[in-house]
Amino acid sequence: MSDIAAVMTFHPQPQAGAPKPWAFPAPERGALGNGLTVLTCHRPGQQIVAVEVLLAAPLDAEPEGLDGVGTIMARALSQGTDQHTAEEFAAELERCGATLDAHADHPGVRVSLEVPVSRLDRALSLLAEALRSPAFPEDEVKRLVANRLDEIPHELANPSRRAAMELSKELFPAELRCSRPRQGTEETVRTIDAAAVRAFYTAHVRPATATAVVVGDLTGIDLPALLGDTLGRWTGSAAQPRPRPAITSDDTARVVIVDRPGAVQTQLLIGRTGADRHDPVWAAQVIGTYCLGGTLTSRLDRVLREEKGYTYGVRAFTQVLLGSADGTGAALLAISGSVATDVTGPALGDAWQVIRTLAEGGLTDGERDVAVQNLVGVAPLRYETAAAVAATLTDQVEQQLPDDFQAGLYARLAATGTVEATAAAVSAFPLDRLVVVLVGDASVIAEPVRALGIGPVRVTG
């Protein structure tokens, strides 16, 4: 039906207009009388205000045998206070049209509030209540523990989460908290009670070691007064946060298959640890990782998806586990995706070939240019909402980075050349230092994977 094309008038590809300036927003940094650090950022037009509070209650601080107490504490913050029962608190929050999430991760606990700006005062007062006077009722903690135990089988059944769990266990020494599930295991969660939750709260939650980030259209809001009346009433000692543990890992090349008899796909997670944002190589590593597997047109998907049709998509990415100003932090460098069971061997073989080719021939200038144009160009899109800006500002604090890190990153990305990006990609993904986790049908995939010779293969349950 080329007649349709024949009728349409074609025009040459248009050229870009003049770019308009955009910069990652600079927050104002201050502190309340109780020592709480506050970052604020006015974003005109953003009617939903995002508030993130970072508590210096890292998973590493959980007492021996109580993995998951941080998670239960985070959830229990909103399950009753000195002024409201759990049900009342949830009702009051939803009456504001607000959402409140809290989760515990390696660097600390993050509490995230989103609310229409007109109800910010009421929602902030509820947030402050949750932080300064949680009741941790025994019955509610019992319920949260039981609920958490019931969640565990669902997580085990999810192929991508199961793979992430296995990779952490493989990479990190057992004594490091990051080798174990963030939200605890059945064995550890079972032992958590209200006393343990309160003890963790008392030891690690206080304004002097916390940071609040407030982003949105703050026109007409007297934020200092509002914060003073809410989060400003939170009290606690001035004790320093605990030092962060140094992260070590064993990335000796090997393959672990988590057996899933009958699975129609194999979940892949290939990883090791590498530089975090404090390392000068970060910008080059971001570009190199993008070129390898950041998108559908990156090297991995060009072969695995768009040529072979083995997958719906495979991505290479970096995820900071713990960013530390002293250089002992680490990021997970990984490739993940799922491939049809019967092509698991060929797909892994192709992935290895893609990485080998990159190491041998390097990236092209064109690839580097497109990557930089994308990574820098999408910034105004990516940071349209208050929540996105707040999340990055909070990440920076959590990773001990300066407030202008992201703003400066764009200039560093633009200044990074092809040679540096190639070197970073090659050292991020060396074929002899990659741990491969496969969640799939071992009876079908183990032999083809062994035949690849990419490392010893072990099958687990």
Partner 1 sequence: MGHTATPEAHSSGLTATEHRLANGLRVVLSEDHLTPVAAVCLWYDVGSRHEVKGRTGLAHLFEHLMFQGSASVKGNGHFELVQGAGGSLNGTTSFERTNYFETMPAHQLELALWLEADRMGSLLTALDQESLDNQRDVVKNERRQRYDNVPYGTAFERLTALAYPDGHPYHHTPIGSMADLDAASLEDARAFFRTYYAPGNAVLAVVGDIDPQQTLAWVEKYFGTIPAHDGKPAPRDGSLPEVIGGELREVVEEDVPSRALMAAYRLPEDGSRAGDAADLALTVLGGGESSRLHNRLVRRDRSAVTAGFGLLRLAGAPSLGWLDVKASSGVELSAIEAAVDDELARFAAEGPTPEEMERAQAQLEREWLDRLATVAGRADELCRFAVLFGDPQLALTAVRRVLSVTPEEVRAVAAARLRPDNRAVLLYEPTGGGQGAEVDEAGEDDDQDQEGDEL
Residue ranges in 209-238 that form contacts with partner 1 under rule CB under 8 A: none
Helix (H) or strand (E) holding 39: strand 37-42
Give the residue, chosen from 151, 326, 365, 447, that forms a contact with partner 1 under the rule CB under 8 A: 151
- Binding segment for partner 1 among 46-54, 190-198, 207-215, 424-432 (CB under 8 A)? 46-54
Give the residue, chosen from 33, 63, 97, 327, that forms a contact with partner 1 under the rule CB under 8 A: 97
- Binding segment for partner 1 among 30-38, 174-182, 221-229, 426-434 (CB under 8 A)? 174-182
Q: Does 174 bind partner 1 (CB under 8 A)?
A: no
Whether 273 and 331 have beta carbons less than 8 Å apart is answered as yes
Bridge partners of residue 270, in order along the sequence: 335, 436
Contact set for partner 1, span 353-372 (CB under 8 A): 369-370
Distance of alpha carbon 72 from alpha carbon 429, whole angstroms: 36
The first and second tokens of residue 141, run together, are 């903690």
What is the contact mask toward partner 1 in residues 119 to 138, using x (rule: CB under 8 A)?
Answer: x-------------------
Instruction: Tell me the pairing of strands 254-259 and 435-440.
Output: parallel
Q: Which is nearer to partner 1, 43 or 204 (CB)?
A: 43
Q: Which is nearer to partner 1, 311 or 324 (CB)?
A: 311
Bridge partners of residue 460, in order along the sequence: 258
Report CA torsion sign: 266, 272, 278, 280: negative
Give the residue, chosen from 296, 325, 411, 415, that forms a contact with partner 1 under the rule CB under 8 A: 296
Q: Which is nearer to partner 1, 4 or 240 (CB)?
A: 4
Least separation in angstroms between residue 354's CB and partner 1 is 16
Q: Does 392 bind partner 1 (CB under 8 A)?
A: no
Q: Which is nearer to partner 1, 243 or 309 (CB)?
A: 309
Q: Which residues contact 136 (CB under 8 A, 6 or more apart)?
A: 73, 76, 79, 80, 194, 197, 198, 201
Bridge partners of residue 114, in order along the sequence: 50, 99
Q: Which residues contact 329 (CB under 8 A, 6 or more apart)?
A: 244, 247, 276, 278, 320, 321, 322, 323, 399, 400
Give the residue, chosen from 83, 118, 357, 443, that forms a contact with partner 1 under the rule CB under 8 A: 118
What is the contact mask toward partner 1 in residues 299 to 338, using x (rule: CB under 8 A)?
Answer: ---x--xxxxxxxx------x------------x---x-x
Whether 251 and 273 have beta carbons less than 8 Å apart is answered as yes
Distance of alpha carbon 426 from alpha carbon 206, whole angstroms: 43
Residues shown for the chain: 461
Q: Does 103 bind partner 1 (CB under 8 A)?
A: no
